[in-house]
Amino acid sequence: MNTSWWSRIYTPLVIAFVFVVGMSVGRHFLSGSSYLGSQKNSKLDKILNYIEDDYVDSINIVQIEDQAIEEMISDLDPHSSYIEPEDYHTVVDPLLGNFEGIGIQFRMIRDSLTVMMPIIGGPSDRAGIKAGDKIIIADKDTIAGQSMSSQDIIKKLKGERGSQVELKIFRSYVDSLLNFNVTRDVIPTFSLDAQFILDDSIGYIKVNKFSATTIDEFDAAIDSLLQNGMTRLILDLRGNSGGYLRAAIAMVDVFLKEGKLIVYTKGKNRPEKKYFANAHGAFENQALVILIDENSASAAEIVAGAIQDNDRGTIIGRRSFGKGLVQEQLDFSDGSAIRLTVARYYTPTGRCIQRPYKDGTEAYYADHYHQIANDLNGITDSIADSLKFTTPQGKIVYGGGGIMPDVLLKMDTSFNFYLYNQLIRNSTIIEFAIDYYNQHKQSLNLYMDMYEFYSQYTPKKIIYKKLIKIAKQRGVETTNKEVVNSETIILNAFKAELARLIFGDEAYFYVYLQDDKAFKQSIDLLQ
């Protein structure tokens, strides 16, 4: 064998380092030899060469190499990872701001790929595909009833721009399958789920990730809301798992005055680097509330931490995830990649909010689940006993893992979470809403906008009874107490799904949030 196992993997013409998952959006290019050449005669290299040259049976040396890499990376920390070639686009594309495909939001409902919403103006929308359609066959391969994962479905439907996919679709109240030839195109992905204004002055923006297009979307949303009279803002980062560091820094820059420290990073081989607010931001002086929860992580925590440490706004919700590690991405010529933790980030007061991971990845994520369980059981968050830091105005903030909100909210346990979650997870509410919409489309489309729909449409109690009946048919256990305690929130979820079908995602959030405790408390605080 003339080449080492390292050289087969590490010899692209260039090796691209992409700061991701809480990192910079910029790319830096280094040659492969300058980075890894010194390791080509390592013990691991010799062992793999020996196996390939002299092992008794034929083997897949590439597979062995992949397994060796995965094992090495898994022992480092919970957020360093190896990305195999077949998973590369699935992992990386969501942060790029677009992908090539047919343009649908979908969900697997009882082994059927159900179209939740065709992206407006996208290939499926242009072809005539509608919400509620079920894709049965794609390019002569049966999808329905195959127990395929969402990732498998995505791989089947994505493809190069200009290529075609032949779909056979089942549509309610149509006797036979419908045929569609859909030409794939570039589909934009958006970081903002919703933006709207309340009471003529309170703006709301929901951000789901920090991607390459986030700051452009965010700046446009801020400008639009300001033009419509916004003087106070609720920024919702709940469930936001992070993304590019540069996007988070740019977002904070909108709120802080020039010269204020936003975040700094440092690692064993990465010197300390500080990031400061620059020129005049569009929302430096107005009232600000940020919502976070246990699934707000990484770049979302950078935003919350910078605002909290600079005494700029109020953080409401539950303790965030606690990811304070910085990854760089190393791309290989075979289409695989490594995301390696190279530094930690620190909030302006000096907090590293990374949760401990010395007991391994399994214990690390188990601790996160315990945190959620504590919230459900009303147990006081333990972070209050960890390291204390002081902001410029004398407010005490806490390190040791995650961002502790200024206003800590416990999970609402006044209704039955089991019943509600079951109806959500098995898509009972969504599927029922789609059927209801298709049956009452003519009357529902008479509403002028989401505001009129919310104020004038009230779901009848018979809808709740039907949902409970369906739930029982699907094996969900219910009791009379659960029915009473869950009726309001389940009917509101149904109403929100209807709003999405009529007016889009923004309407879903507007309706759903009206029954959201953290959202209500944010409005009360701002008022």
Q: 157-166 pLDDT, tens per residue? A: 888 899 999 9
Q: Which CATH class is domain 98-188?
A: mainly beta
Helix (H, G, I), strand (E, B) or coil at 263: strand
Residue 479's pLDDT is what?
66
Question: Measured between alpha carbons, how far is 158 from 64 in angstroms, rounded to an integer?
Answer: 29
Dihedral of the alpha carbons of 122, 123, 128, 129, in degrees to the nearest 10: -90
What's at 18, amino acid-wise? V
Mean pLDDT of 74-87: 90
Residue 310's pLDDT is what?
98
Average per-residue pLDDT in the chain? 85
Rounded to 5 degrees, what angle do the CA atoms 298, 299, 301 make? Answer: 65
Mean pLDDT of 307-328: 95
Question: Measured between alpha carbons, how far is 214 from 252 in angstroms, rounded to an integer?
Answer: 12
Question: Measured between alpha carbons, how far is 139 from 157 in angstroms, rounded to an integer?
Answer: 9
- The boundaries of every CATH 3.90.226.10 domain in the chain are 192-325+342-413
Q: Which CATH class is domain 192-325+342-413?
A: alpha beta
Q: 340-391 pLDDT, tens per residue? A: 999 999 999 999 989 889 888 888 888 888 777 776 665 555 554 558 899 9
Residues contacting residue 119 through CB under 8 Å, at least 6 positions apart: 103, 104, 105, 125, 187
- The boundaries of every CATH 2.30.42.10 domain in the chain are 98-188
> Which residues carry out catalysis?
298, 309, 323
pTM of the model: 0.85
Residue 125 has pLDDT above 60, yes or no: yes
Residue 420's pLDDT is what?
83
Type and span of the H or E element at 249: helix 245-253
DSSP symbols for 295-334? T--THHHHHHHHHHHTT-SEEEES------EEEEEEE-TT
Angle of helix 214-227 versus helix 245-253 axis, rounded to 10: 20
Residues contacting residue 338 through CB under 8 Å, at least 6 positions apart: 69, 73, 80, 81, 82, 83, 329, 330, 332
Q: What percent of the chain has pLDDT over 90?
A: 52
Provide the pLDDT confidence category of residue 23 given band limits of 50, 70 and 90: very low
Rounded to 5 degrees, what angle do the CA atoms 176, 182, 188 make? Answer: 130
Residue 11 has pLDDT above 60, yes or no: no
Residue 114's pLDDT is what?
87
CA distances (Å), origin 219, targets 192, 280, 298: 11, 13, 21
Structure tokens at 440: 């009452």
Residue 6's pLDDT is what?
40
Residue 286's pLDDT is what?
96
Residues contacting residue 308 through CB under 8 Å, at least 6 positions apart: 315, 347, 391, 395, 397, 403, 406
Mean pLDDT of 5-25: 38
Q: Of 122, 102, 24, 208, whose CA–CA distance to 217 is shortest?
A: 208
Residues contacting residue 167 through CB under 8 Å, at least 6 positions apart: 102, 129, 135, 137, 138, 179, 180, 181, 182
